Every structure is written in structure tokens, then in C-alpha cells.
């Protein structure tokens, strides 16, 4: 009886072993039958090339990170996992680490470059803009780099700040403010513009003891030092204007007819109200042609008429 039990048990064990061995070989054959590829050597290759190669053989690219490396150029592979020569199934991941290049670089030369181009170079080299200062410069154009710190050719770590001195162009010229008192508004504007200054606010006020329709006040005062392009404000001694039939609903009419002749003239009608300029008309006119321009009625609104760039007439719409 006992022998029979042992025989049955032995038969059961042998059957189980045969089944296990069969299952093992069957599974191995199934696994072997799946597509497998050999992992290529990606170290020191460009990241774009590595991506293309892995994609072609059916593997996925996973970037684990990036590190500074003095031996392997920027955007090239430093490390890969699995290692080259490994046999893995298609669709698996290959993890790579990308080089950020050397941690220290030679500071590029930014002098005389436009500020936008300099900022692009800093970004490409992993550098940051530090302090940005402005200064006039007689030889270096506006918005170009005058100086840099650190200087070009020095060693600098990526991620450090670079300070830039940017040119504002040549320093504006200084002039002695001309005397406008007693001039008509046309002559005053002509002198302001010929002095490389800018007409500012034109206001009117009535002084009984002074000549009429001439400049009674000016700012800056005569003889003061002024910078090229500075605004000049004037006050004209005018009597208050009586109601005019040309005005309607706060709007006036300004008219001009070009005298007879043979040549066209460049005519500009410019409005000055509280120092703000608006060109109401700016075009060529034929001889004998007439224009009418609507002018908003406002306190101290002055219309100036230019012919070929020279003021020839002004009128106040107050």
C-alpha cells in the first residue's frame, strides 16, 4: 500500500516537472519571437541625431536631465541607459543625459553691437543681463553697446550676470536761448525752429501797456542755456477775440488759397493746442488751389501755415 502511494506521488512529481519545463520553453519561445533591437552607442552624438536613430529602430527617447561637461559639446549626449549593445524590445525607453557644455566660457565681445543682438548672444551662451546703464557717446550709435563687464575674452561661468553700458547716441548740442520778445508769432516760430528747438505751448494774454500781437513772454528766458530739441513756450499779447460768424458748435474754418504760379507747393496746416501738435493738412497744392480746414475751437488754439517747410501765417481760434 505504501509502495503504491510512493509510486503515485513520484508520478505526480514527474508530471509536474515535465509540465513546468514545457511551460518554460514555451514562454521562452514566445519571448524570443518578439521583436528586439540592439541599443546603439549614443554618447557624444547630437541630441537631434540620437532622437532620429532611436525613433528609426522603434525605441523611445527619455531625457533624464542635463549637466555641464568640459569634454562633450553642448546639446550632445553624456550618458545613456541601457548601455550600448544591450538587447531590448521595441517600444522601450532609452534614457539619456544632455551636455550643457563647459561651465566656464570666454566672454563674447559685445561692444558696438545693437542691444537686441547682444541680448540674444547672452542667452545663447547661458548668460544673464545684469545692470543696464545709459550714456551719450559721440562715436557709437544709439542703442549700441559701449562697454561690458566682464570684458570680452575673460573667463565667465554660465548663468552669471553681464553688465552693459548702452549708448544714447551723440550728446545733444546746447544753445543760448534767443530773445523772442516783441516778435510776431510767425517770426518767433521761425527763429525757434531755426535754432533747433521745438515749439511748445502757445498761449495768449492781453497786456494793455505792451505792443499787440507779438510775443510778450517766453520760457525759457532769453540767454538761458537750452538743449537741442527743447520745447519753447510763448505768450502772445492779443486782445480777446469777438464772436465770429465762422464759428459754429465749437468749430472754426481755416482757409488758404495758393497764389498763381507754375509750381506745386508743399503746404502744411498744423494745429497747436496746449503744446500738442496735430497736422490738419500736409500735401502738395497746385497754383490757385484752395483748401478749407475745420479747426476745433478751444482756448489758445493756434493754427500755423507752412509753405515748403517755412511758416508764413498763423491764426488763433479762441
Q: What pLDDT is attached to residue 246?
A: 47
Q: What pLDDT is attached to residue 292?
A: 87
Determine how many CB atoms are found less than 10 A away from the CB of residue 280: 15
Q: What pLDDT is attached to residue 176?
A: 92
pLDDT at residue 210 above 50? Answer: yes
* Percentage of the residues of the chain whose pLDDT score is greater than 70: 85
pLDDT per residue as tens digits for the range 228-238: 889 999 998 98
pLDDT at residue 169 above 60? Answer: yes
Q: Domains plus CATH for the chain?
A: 34-102 (3.30.10.20), 104-167 (3.30.10.20), 172-240 (3.30.10.20), 246-318 (2.60.40)
C-alpha span between 231 and 97 (Å, rounded)? 61
pLDDT per residue as tens digits for the range 6-55: 566 555 665 656 555 655 555 455 444 458 899 999 999 999 999 999 99
What is the band of 245 on the pLDDT scale with cuts at 50, 70, 90? very low
| Contact present, 215 and 234 (Cβ < 8 Å) | yes
Q: Where are the beta strands (DSSP E) in 32-127?
A: 36-38, 60-67, 77-81, 87-89, 93-99, 104-106
| Contact present, 111 and 146 (Cβ < 8 Å) | yes
pTM: 0.47
Q: What pLDDT is attached to residue 33?
A: 45
pLDDT at residue 247 above 50? Answer: no
Amino acid at each position: 500500500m505504501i509502495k503504491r502511494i510512493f509510486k503515485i506521488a513520484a508520478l505526480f512529481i514527474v508530471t509536474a516537472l515535465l509540465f513546468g519545463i514545457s511551460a518554460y520553453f514555451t514562454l521562452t519561445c514566445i519571448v524570443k519571437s518578439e521583436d528586439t533591437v540592439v541599443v546603439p552607442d549614443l554618447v557624444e552624438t547630437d541630441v537631434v541625431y540620437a532622437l532620429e536613430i532611436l525613433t528609426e529602430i522603434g525605441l523611445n527617447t527619455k531625457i533624464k536631465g542635463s549637466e555641464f561637461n568640459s569634454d562633450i559639446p553642448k546639446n550632445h549626449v553624456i550618458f545613456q541607459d541601457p548601455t550600448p549593445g544591450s538587447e531590448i524590445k521595441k517600444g522601450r525607453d532609452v534614457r539619456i543625459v544632455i551636455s550643457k557644455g563647459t561651465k566656464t566660457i570666454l566672454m563674447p565681445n559685445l561692444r558696438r553691437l545693437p542691444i537686441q543682438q547682444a541680448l540674444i548672444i547672452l542667452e545663447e551662451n547661458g548668460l544673464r543681463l545684469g545692470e543696464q546703464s545709459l550714456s551719450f557717446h559721440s562715436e557709437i550709435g544709439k542703442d549700441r553697446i559701449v562697454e561690458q563687464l566682464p570684458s570680452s575674452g575673460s573667463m565667465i561661468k554660465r548663468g552669471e550676470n553681464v553688465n552693459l553700458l548702452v549708448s544714447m547716441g551723440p550728446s545733444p548740442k546746447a544753445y543760448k536761448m534767443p530773445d523772442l520778445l516783441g516778435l510776431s508769432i510767425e517770426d518767433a516760430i521761425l527763429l525757434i525752429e531755426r535754432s533747433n528747438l521745438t515749439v511748445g505751448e502757445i498761449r495768449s494774454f492781453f497786456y494793455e501797456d505792451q505792443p499787440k500781437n507779438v510775443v510778450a513772454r517766453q520760457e525759457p528766458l532769453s540767454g538761458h542755456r537750452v538743449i537741442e530739441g527743447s520745447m519753447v513756450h510763448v505768450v502772445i499779447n492779443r486782445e480777446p477775440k469777438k464772436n465770429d460768424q465762422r464759428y459754429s458748435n465749437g468749430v472754426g474754418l481755416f482757409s488758404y488759397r495758393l497764389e498763381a504760379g507754375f509750381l506745386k507747393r508743399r503746404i502744411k496746416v498744423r494745429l497747436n493746442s496746449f503744446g500738442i501738435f496735430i497736422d490738419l493738412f500736409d500735401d502738395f497744392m497746385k497754383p490757385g488751389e484752395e483748401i478749407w480746414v475745420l479747426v476745433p475751437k478751444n482756448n489758445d488754439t493756434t493754427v500755423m501755415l507752412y509753405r515748403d517747410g517755412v511758416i508764413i501765417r498763423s491764426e488763433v481760434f479762441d
